[in-house]
Amino acid sequence: MHSTFKFHTLVAAIASATLMSFTPGAVAQDYPNRPITFVVPFAPGGLSDVPGRILAAELQARIGHAVIVENKPGASGITGASSVTRAAPDGYTLLVNALADVQNLHYLSVPYDPVKDFSLIGMVTDGPPLVLVVNAKTPYKSVADLVAYARANPSKVSFGTSGPATSPAIAVTQINEVAKTSIVEVPYRGSAPAAAAVAAGEVQGAFAFYANARTLADGGLVRALAVTSVKRLENWPEIPTMEELGYANFYHAGFVGLAAPVGTPAPVIAFLNKELNAVIHSESFKKKIEPLGMTVPDVNTPETFTAFMRREIARQGELAKLSGHTTVAKP
């Protein structure tokens, strides 16, 4: 009887200790004590992958544990993001999210909510913006020149895009709607091939992401006519914004953020946000992302990032309506 009581007491103690080891408080108190995985839902070398890898390397140096980048491309980022929603909410599997997370809601069937189904940590980078470029041999010296020709010659101007429901394609739809043009979209397998097509003369122009546009413009292959940022770029100040040229709300830029599965303990999120800000506000990080046309936010909390995501979801919904799309409900 006595030994039986002792046995049950020992079992109960072990069970209690095991349970405590999985409680949010216990996880947070000992965090991190093993490698962290960043899930990038796109292929290596993309707009979210590059800053994600820079962040991973610098974060690893700060916390003393490995930060592994795992690419899980597919379904415009949905495959990788979905895998993170199924991960344990312990801070060891994080999503490097991006603009596709909010754009997808208006064009595809997405099995999760990019805000409610994650514990948002903070923004990693803001940008890059798109740059309206034309082949250097075309006669267009300004957006006004391009629009005038496109109006006078319906469907005679073609722009390369990276496919439907992407920022370059949405920008073409917007300029067609606002300027009353009928520029033809020619889809390519990415923004870089679309920009290269402009340089090669396959199409007359494109809304290309900054890094591709700047390289080709510096090489004399394309001419930059405008940027889609809120204000002129500090390292390319001679290029006007679409807004100042009379195209209201013509803002197209990417972003990269960091998110954990919903239910991740608040102390873990606070730790990650603190370390994230320490990295992105370092001169080392800023120097690495500047050539990509990216910047970092001054104020960067889970709350400000959540508010940003909600605003961006609403804004992308308005842009989607230009091309006749409405938000697709979750299955």
Q: Does the residue 247 lie in any domain?
A: no
**Tens-place pLDDT, residues 100-155:** 899 989 988 999 999 999 999 999 999 999 999 999 999 999 999 999 999 999 99
Structurally, how many domains does the chain consist of? 3
Cα–Cα distance between 10 and 36 in angstroms, integer?
Answer: 34
Task: Please check whether residues 13 and 39 belong to one and the same domain.
Answer: no
Residue with tokens 């020992």: 10
In angstroms, the CA 194 to CA 242 distance is 20
* Residue 189: domain span: 128-227
Same domain, 38 and 107: yes
Do 120 and 140 belong to one domain?
no
Helices (H) and strands (E) in the chain, counts: 12, 9
Return the exposure string of 10-19: e unless at least 16 CB atoms fall within 10 Å of the residue's CB, then b: eeeeeeeeee
Q: Contact at 8 Å (CB) between 197 and 170?
A: no
Q: pTM of the full predicted structure?
A: 0.80
Does residue 266 lie in a domain region? yes
Q: How far out from the chain centre does Cα 296 lie?
A: 13
What CATH number has the domain bearing residue 210? 3.40.190.10
Least confident of 11-20, 63-72, 243-252: 11-20
Question: How does pLDDT run across 234-284, given as a tens digit for each residue?
Answer: 889 999 999 999 999 899 999 999 999 999 999 999 999 999 999 999 999
Whether residue 105 sits in one domain with residue 169: no
Question: Which tokens go with 107?
Answer: 């064009």
Helix (H) / strand (E) element for 120: namely strand 118-135
